[in-house]
Amino acid sequence: MSFQDLKHMYENPRAHKDWKAALQANAGIYRIVDMSSGEIYIGSAYGNEGLWGRWSNYAKNGHGGNKLLKPRDPNNFQWSVVRTVSRSMSERDVI
């Protein structure tokens, strides 16, 4: 999904309740592709809000606090889920 799609989903969670529920129910591995350069960032999401919690951080500012992504234009990013895992998995195991 694009940055605009991600922001829209985050800003309108009731309209996207199925997406929110699915992302919140799972921890996992995700990929961000900078479509302008083809570079790929692989990240992990764990904790109480799973992928929803992590992706919410990206929706707020485009970089989610990641120093490697801060200088880049988030409008060039595309997010995708690589693999979902149980939220009960330890942080170490998810990473």
Q: Where are the domains of the chain?
A: 3-87
| pLDDT confidence of residue 47 | 87
**From CA 94, how far away is CA 80, in angstroms rounded?**
16
Q: Is the pTM above the cut of 0.75?
A: yes
In order along the chain (95 residues), what is the average pLDDT of each group of 10 residues? 96 93 96 97 94 96 94 97 95 92
Residue with tokens 């129910």: 25
Backbone angles phi, psi at 81, to 5 degrees: -90, 130
Q: Give Cα 69 to chain centroid, integer Å.
A: 13
The class level of CATH for 3-87 reads alpha beta
What's the one-letter identity of residue 2?
A: S
